[in-house]
Amino acid sequence: MILIVIDHADGAPRKSAYELVSLGRALTGDDGSLTALVAGDAPGAVAQEIARFVPRVLTVSAPELAPPRAETMTRAVAHAATTLGAEAVLVGASRFGLSYSPRVAMRLGAPLLEDVTALERDGDGYVAKRLSYLARVTETVAASAPTVVVSVKPGAAAAADPAASAGEVTELEVPFEPDDVRVGVASRRAATKGRVALEDADVVVAGGRGFGSAETFDDLVVGLADALGAGVGSTRAVVDAGWRPYGEQIGQTGKTVAPRLYLALAVSGAVQHLSGMNRSKVIVAVNKDADAPIFRVADYGIVGDVLEVVPALQEAVAGLD
Amino acid sequence: MKIVTILKQVPDAEARVRASGGTLDLSGATLVIDGMDEYGVEEALRIRERGMETEIVALACGPERAAEAIRTALAMGVDRAVHVVSDVTLDAVAMARVLAGVVQDEAPELVFVGGKQADWDSSALGPALAEALGWPHADWTTELTFEDGTITVTHDIDDGTETLTLPLPAVVTTQQGLNEPRYPTLPNIMKAKRKTLEARPLADVAAAAGAPADRATELRASEIEARSRRNVVLDGDAKTAATELVRRLRDEAKVL
Ligand SMILES: Cc1cc2nc3c(=O)[nH]c(=O)nc-3n(C[C@H](O)[C@H](O)[C@H](O)COP(=O)(O)OP(=O)(O)OC[C@H]3O[C@@H](n4cnc5c(N)ncnc54)[C@H](O)[C@@H]3O)c2cc1C
Ligand SMILES: Nc1ncnc2c1ncn2[C@@H]1O[C@H](COP(=O)(O)O)[C@@H](O)[C@H]1O
């Protein structure tokens, strides 16, 4: 039995949830044992949506999960895995998933396959691919144990199509303990309100220091992103300059994205930045320096000044439909 | 106050990594203290410098050569260090089990761990260690303050930032934004040579911790990630190149 944990926000599953469904189906051979866990203070709508895709959906509904914390999720997921006798627990490798999945592994005494880009059965166990050394090395890692915990990098599988018939939704009681809520959540601040979340974006427009100022960055990078319905990304240089929030930084110390299309505008292409985007399907680079390292990973490049090229791109995109 | 800062020795980010026959070859690479761990060392030093009496212990698990990275932390100002000497390249869960034993013996109020190790590309060590200890954790921390018996941290989450209060003891994972790590000064590099660096074999530490002295997962191969890219450069003035780019993205790459 494979348990997939559904990452959700604003009453809907995140894109990665549908990717876990695909992986889960492949691993169970679609034998009807795939089970999804939806945990939250009001998981109903998300559970109904996911039931269109998987035969069995468990909901955990508890005030302890609003807002979700690493320790409450650990309790819920570990309890579900133990109760159901899960052979594998698949978690989306969002920042939150990466925060609680190691705790789940430790609590279950299970090995952890972390942030994997591919996952297959291997005898009684599993074999996975994952990136290391700032995403320059691909590791093949295997784990064999009664339960294996796996965090799955967004984009590791194609999103699933709905199943022929809807699955069954049942509720699971979880015995939360006082320590699970010992961490107090004083406040939360959304950084990308109204804009498509970077991790879920099919297209990412990223800008670097070459824009020269926050105003120019807003006009050109954010302007082009809005025209494309894309997420906005930044380099560390941009974030350090205070032009954009940390939450938009892509790279080793920021987020990892693998969109269908990544536009790197006035981005030099330092290894720490590349490690966060080098798995994008198609990469475009615009840079005035023909020798900038970003061109080495680019599918299409324009050697030129972003102050001229980006407005031209905005115009060309506006003329698309 | 006692603080344990955990660190790792990793190849310098600019170092070339090579692989052959499915194994990684780090010979010739410059090895340094992981940049992510320096934030924890620095934060511990700043806590002390703000006037709180603080003992700071660096803790690392790795081969003999990792002692050099530990010396960097000692030269930055850490008081003493424990080096779990291991020729096995442990994974995050296995290392957390081993290190939990040492942390329990040290009994600090606070443990700092780098947010994401540059060799593993893993952020699991901090949360796994916290779970092994039965402590709370905060990851991706950019701000930290103390109030009697608790800490308040600001950290990154998927869609923004969050402010948490944690009872101590706790594990905090560090990242860029928390502070600007200092460079060791020459006098401090000299002083560091006289500080205690206790080396303990992995087998002993693991046995004392009741933890396996081996990986929880099996590393079968390491290969250099190479993707083929089109590498097409579009010529012409800005308007011509931009129009051609959009056309190719739509018709050739089919991503628009
Ligand atoms: C521990 C550590 C972690 C790090 N983590 C990250 C991370 O997560 N993410 C990250 O991005 N970086 C990270 N870095 C920093 C990284 O090494 C680079 O310094 C950073 O990515 C550079 O950002 P940039 O490309 O915007 O700036 P620069 O390197 O300054 O590049 C600017 C580019 O813009 C071009 N340019 C300038 N003007 C124009 C113009 N008018 N038109 C066209 N092109 C122009 C220039 O030719 C240049 O290539 C990290 C560094 C360390 C040490
Ligand atoms: N990137 C670096 N790596 C190692 N040491 C450095 C680096 N930058 C500066 N230093 C040294 O750190 C000390 C203080 O540097 P600074 O405060 O940058 O002037 C000097 O001894 C510098 O030589």
A128: containing domain: 2-181
pLDDT of A44-58, one tens digit each?
A: 999 999 999 999 999
Provide the terminal-to-terminal Cα distance of chain A, rounded to the nearest Å: 46
Whether B245 sits inside 8 A of A302 (CB atoms) is yes
CA A212 to ligand 1: nearest atom: 38
Reduced 3-state DSSP string for A92-146: ECCHHHHHHHHHHHHHHCCCEEEEEEEEEEECCEEEEEEEECCCCEEEEEEECCC
Of B12, B76, B10, the C-alpha closest to B43 is B76
Domain contains A187: no
A192 confidence band (pLDDT: 50, 70, 90): low
Say yes or no to pLDDT of A43 above 60.
yes
In a shared domain, residues A9 and A115: yes
* B38 at interface of A, judged by CB pairs closer than 8 A: no
In a shared domain, residues B202 and B242: no
For residue B208 the two structure tokens come to 């004392």
Counting ligand 1 atoms within 8 A of each CB, the residue from A224, A235, A253 with the most, and so the one to mutate, is A235
Quote the percentage of chain A above a pLDDT of 90: 85
**Most A CBs within 10 Å: which of B159, B174, B232, as the mutation test of the A interface?**
B159
Quote the percentage of chain B above a pLDDT of 70: 100
DSSP code of residue A49: H
Strand B18-20, strand A88-92: pairing: unpaired
By the 10 Å C-beta count (0-12 exposed, 13-18 middle, 19+ buried), A173 is classed as exposed
**Contacts from A235-239 at CB under 8 Å and sequence distance 24+?**
A235/A206, A235/A207, A235/A208, A235/A209, A235/A267, A235/A268, A235/A270, A235/A273, A236/A272, A236/A273, A236/B176, A237/A208, A237/A209, A238/A207, A238/A208, A238/A209, A238/A211
In a shared domain, residues B199 and B236: no
Whether B249 sits inside 8 A of A111 (CB atoms) is no
In a shared domain, residues A204 and A251: yes
What count of other Cβ atoms lies within 10 Å of the Cβ of residue B210? Answer: 9
In a shared domain, residues A250 and A126: no
Per the model's pLDDT, the better-predicted residue between B23 and A254 turns out to be B23
Mean pLDDT on A35-48:
96
Residues of chain A with Cβ-Cβ distance to B40 below 8 Å are: none
Domain contains A186: no
- HSE-CB at A161 with a 13 A cutoff on CA atoms is 1
Complex confidence, ipTM: 0.87
Question: What is the pLDDT at residue B169?
Answer: 98
Say yes or no to pLDDT of A194 above 70.
no
Domain contains A19: yes
In a shared domain, residues A57 and A124: yes
Mean pLDDT on B68-94:
97
Question: What is the pLDDT at residue A212?
Answer: 97
CA A306 to ligand 1: nearest atom: 42
A302 confidence band (pLDDT: 50, 70, 90): very high
Domain contains B183: yes
Question: What is the pLDDT at residue B16?
Answer: 83
Q: What is the pTM of this model?
A: 0.89
In a shared domain, residues A32 and A175: yes
Say yes or no to pLDDT of B5 above 80.
yes
- Using CA coordinates, name the residue in chain B closest to A192: B159
In a shared domain, residues A136 and A216: no
Quote the percentage of chain B above a pLDDT of 90: 89
Lowest mean pLDDT among A6-15, A247-256, A293-302: A247-256
Bond prior to B169 in cis (omega within 30° of 0): yes
Among A181, A216, A236, the domain boundary falls at A181
Tell whether ligand 1 has an atom less than 6 A from the beta carbon of residue A305. Answer: yes
pLDDT of B172-214, one tens digit each?
A: 999 988 999 999 999 999 999 999 999 999 999 999 999 999 9
Burial B128-145 (b: 16+ CB within 10 A, else e): bbbbbbebbbbbbbbebe
Domain contains A189: no
Whether A133 sits inside 8 A of B121 (CB atoms) is yes
Whether A315 sits inside 8 A of B225 (CB atoms) is no
In a shared domain, residues B132 and B256: no
Say yes or no to pLDDT of A308 above 90.
yes
CATH number at residue A299: 3.40.50.1220
Domain contains A272: yes
DSSP code of residue B59: E
For residue A105 the two structure tokens come to 């592994």
A255 confidence band (pLDDT: 50, 70, 90): confident
Question: What is the pLDDT at residue A252?
Answer: 86
B242: containing domain: 230-256
CB B92 within 8 A of CB B122: yes
Nearest CA to ligand 1 atom 30: A209
CB A119 within 8 A of CB A33: no
Tell whether ligand 1 has an atom less than 6 A from the beta carbon of residue A237. Answer: yes
CATH number at residue A58: 3.40.50.620
In a shared domain, residues B32 and B117: yes
Q: What does the angle CA B69 – CA B73 – CA B78 come to, to the nearest 5 degrees?
A: 150
Angular region, B236: left φ>0, alpha ψ -120 to 50, beta rest: left
Number of domains chain B contains: 2
CB A180 within 8 A of CB A69: yes
Mean pLDDT on A79-106:
97
Say yes or no to pLDDT of A37 above 70.
yes
Say yes or no to pLDDT of B250 above 80.
yes
In a shared domain, residues B91 and B135: yes
**Cα separation of A211 and A234, whole Å?**
11
**Cα separation of B127 and A92, whole Å?**
16
In a shared domain, residues A232 and A117: no
Question: What is the pLDDT at residue A317?
Answer: 95
Residues of chain B with Cβ-Cβ distance to A191 below 8 Å are: 159-161
Per the model's pLDDT, the better-predicted residue between B126 and A187 turns out to be B126
In a shared domain, residues A295 and A236: yes
In a shared domain, residues A254 and A152: no
Mean pLDDT on B28-32:
93
**Cβ–Cβ pairs < 8 A, chains A and B:** 267
Residues of chain A with Cβ-Cβ distance to B245 below 8 Å are: 284, 300, 302, 313, 316
Number of domains chain A contains: 2
Say yes or no to pLDDT of A193 above 70.
no
Say yes or no to pLDDT of B215 above 90.
yes
* B245 at interface of A, judged by CB pairs closer than 8 A: yes
CA A237 to ligand 1: nearest atom: 23
* A83 at interface of B, judged by CB pairs closer than 8 A: no
Q: Which helix (H) or strand (E) holds A77?
A: helix A70-84
| Ligand closest in space to the Cα of B38 | 1
In a shared domain, residues A235 and A304: yes
pLDDT of A105-137, one tens digit each?
A: 999 999 999 999 999 999 999 999 999 999 999
**Most A CBs within 10 Å: which of B217, B220, B228, B229, as the mutation test of the A interface?**
B217
Of A320, A196, A276, A225, the C-alpha closest to B118 is A276
In a shared domain, residues A158 and A207: no
Domain contains B249: yes
CB nearest B136 (choices: A114, A140, A183): A183
CA A292 to ligand 1: nearest atom: 49
